[in-house]
Structures are given as structure tokens and as C-alpha cells.
Amino acid sequence: MFKTRKAAFQAALSSVKDAVNSRNTIPHLANIAVERHGDLLRLRATNLDIEIAAPFEAEISADFSGFTFPMKTVTSIVSAIDDGKDISFEAVMVGNKLEAVTIRSGRSKIKVPILPLADFPQLDKGALPFLLSLGSSSFIRCLSAVDYACANEETRPYLGGVYLDATETGLMFVATDGHRMARRLLPTSDIDDPIEGMPKVIVPRETAPLLVKHLPKDETLSISLSDYRIRFEAGNIVIISKLVEGNYPDYRRLSPASHKIRAKINGAELKAAIARVLTVNTEKGNAVCFSFDNTSATLTSREGDAGSAEDVVTTACDGEIVVGINGAYLRESIDHLDSDEIELDFNDPASPVLLRKPGETETHTIIMPMRV
């Protein structure tokens, strides 16, 4: 039915297989579809919540008929084939019905069962009326800067994703689990189309890392969406996802409007100090006590079975404050800020701590304080 190079087929397979849920009980959902896509063939996989499609070049015979193959089996077969080899898929017919395919490469041939393409689910159906285009790298950068803060709980499913909010200044990306909140602004100058009237949507936490992983960089990203579904296309990759239903909290109210004390610190030095004091923190919570004065911050981890710890980093602070912060959360937030120097804003020990790059306004992270 078709012949292709191992590298081409394997690249498409690697792009789509993350959409397969190996624990499902529906036979088709353990499979990947092979179907025509213009002059190419493409692979398509879905778990009913997300769908990924990727084309590949092939010599297509006149007898080609679409089918689905078991993902695990064919992935193992392709991995075992020598690099640089051709792979052929040949039809195994019973009467007029396609029952299996034979995969050939060199002297090897392996027969694999298939399921019909006609019964394979498809998410790419129905109107997606809102369209916009932007650079894929900018979108990926903003998404990956916040998705770590998504909630992973069933009681508040509306927090289980990244909120996309079209504002006057640009597209805001927000994620929160109730203990921390990350927000990043993609300014309108980086977006090719007007975003006025764009639906406010929540991209599931399971979808976000797949977009970061599989969308090609430095391409034009086309996004089409409705209130219930969103489609991403960049280069040759198409990713479609259901959206999280529910009303997202007003993230603007969660961010402090002003501050009384500001500390400027080297982010790498602060991360290293946090890591050292957390080595003896075996209690759940990762609480670290931060004592700021005008020139330094003293980090302490309270006495426990594993001992206690203290570390000091140089700061430029315009006041004095003692506050408890989840050290693991702060380290992770600094990692996603992409800045050598950081600012921490405080009001009092019971108020949220605001973390940002110096000079930023819309883009920041907030962390709720802890008792220490």
C-alpha cells in the first residue's frame, strides 16, 4: 500500500503517540490511524480529549486504503528496524476486506492486525469560528512559563488548565492551583490578528505540555477555537483539544495592587540557597523562613528529625520583613521566570508574595505565604 523511509515514519509516530492512552478499554484508542492527507500520508492519534496529527512522505500505491494499527506493536517494530532503511506496509486481504498489514524492511516481514479507519474517532469536526495567527515560539514560551502552576485535583476542575484571556494589552496566560499563580502576557504586537472577541478558554493541563513538546518552533501558529474546542496548527503538526469547562477565578484580584517592601536578588543564588536549606526539610510543605533586612536575606529551615539549616544571600531591600514561603514553589517559579535578577514584593507576613523580573508589570508570579 505504501513505502516510506524509517526516519520519516518514526518522526510522525513520535509526534502523535503521546495522544494514545495505553490504559483505555476501547480498542481503537490503542491504535494510530494512517490516512491520506493531500499528496502525503498522515498519522493521527486521539484519546478523545486531545488529537494529534502529523504527515509523512511516502510512495503511495493505488491500492492504498486507510487503516489503524496498534501503537505499541508498531512502535517496537519501527524502533528495531535499522536506521536509514525503507519500510513498506502491504495489505493482507480476506476477500475484499483489509484484515492486517505486513510490515517489510530488508529481509524482515511482520504481520500486524489492524482495525478499520471508519470506526476511528475524530475530534476535528464542527465549526471553530475564532481564528488568530502568531509566532509559535512566543506562544510556547508563554505557555511553558505558567503551565507548571496548574492544579491537579478533581474538586476544582476549572483550575486544571491554563487560562487564555484576551485583554487590551495582549493575550494573558494564567495558571493557579490556589497556592501559587503564574501569569505571562503575550503583547498584541506579537499577535498577527485582532484578539478582540476571542472566547476566554481554559486549555487542559494535559494538553499544555504536549503543545510545548510537539509544536515546531519558529513557525506561524494558527489557532482556531470555540467555547468547547481548540485547534493548533504549526508547520505540519495539528493538535486539537477539548477545553476545560467552568468559570476561571478573577486572577487580577489575586495579584497585590501595591507593595510596602521590595527586595532585589540574584535568582540563581537564591535558588541554590533554597536547595541547601531544604535538604533537611523532610516535613510536607517545604516551608522556609525568609528574614529580609536591607542587605541580606537569611533562609532557615526549622529544627526537625533531620536537623536544621540556615543560609544567607545578598539582597538590596528597602525594608525588613520575616515571611514563610514554600521553598519548592519559589525555586520552581524562579526557574520559569527566565531572568538573572528578580524582585520580590511584600506587604506583610500574611499577604501574597509577588515575584517578577525587574520592571515587569503584567507578567509575574504570586505565592501564598506559609506559617513557619
3-state secondary structure of 29: helix
CA pair distance 94, 100, nearest whole angstrom: 9
Does residue 128 contact residue 156 with C-beta atoms inside 8 Å?
Answer: no
DSSP per residue, 344-363: EEES-TTSPEEEE-TT-SS-
- The predicted pLDDT at position 256 comes to 85
CA pair distance 78, 88, nearest whole angstrom: 11
Residue 203, pLDDT above cutoff 80: yes
Q: Which of 24, 76, 68, 73 is nearest to 50 (CA)?
A: 24
C-alpha cell at 139: 506562544
User: 294 burial class (0-12, 13-18, 19+ CB within 10 angstroms)?
Assistant: exposed
- The predicted pLDDT at position 283 comes to 67
Same domain membership, residue 235 and residue 136: yes
Question: Is 243 part of any domain?
Answer: yes
Mean pLDDT of 332-342: 92
Give the predicted TM-score (pTM) of the model: 0.91
CA pair distance 32, 249, nearest whole angstrom: 38
- The predicted pLDDT at position 307 comes to 80
Question: Is 124 part of any domain?
Answer: no
- The predicted pLDDT at position 312 comes to 97
Dihedral of CA 303/304/306/311: which sign? negative
pLDDT mean across residues, the chain:
93
Residue 344, pLDDT above cutoff 90: yes
- The predicted pLDDT at position 21 comes to 84
Placement of cell 491520506 in the chain:
36
Question: Is 125 part of any domain?
Answer: no
Residue 9, pLDDT above cutoff 80: yes
- The predicted pLDDT at position 24 comes to 76
Mean pLDDT of 89-112: 94
- The predicted pLDDT at position 123 comes to 87
Say which CATH number the domain at 35 has: 3.10.150.10
- The predicted pLDDT at position 304 comes to 67
Same domain membership, residue 141 and residue 240: yes
Number of domains in the chain: 3
Query: For 175-193, how does the pLDDT look when each residue is reduced to its tens digit (9 = 90+)?
Result: 999 999 999 999 999 999 9
- The predicted pLDDT at position 275 comes to 94
Question: Is 329 part of any domain?
Answer: yes
- The predicted pLDDT at position 284 comes to 62
- The predicted pLDDT at position 371 comes to 85
Query: For 41-88, how does the pLDDT look when each residue is reduced to its tens digit (9 = 90+)?
Result: 999 999 999 999 999 999 999 999 999 999 999 999 999 999 999 999
3-state secondary structure of 285: coil
Q: Which domain holds residue 175?
A: 130-252
Same domain membership, residue 82 and residue 9: yes
Q: What are phi and psi of 296, to 5 degrees?
A: -155, 165
Query: For 282-336, how does the pLDDT look when each residue is reduced to its tens digit (9 = 90+)?
Result: 666 789 999 999 999 999 987 766 688 999 999 999 999 999 999 999 999 999 9
CA pair distance 321, 294, nearest whole angstrom: 10
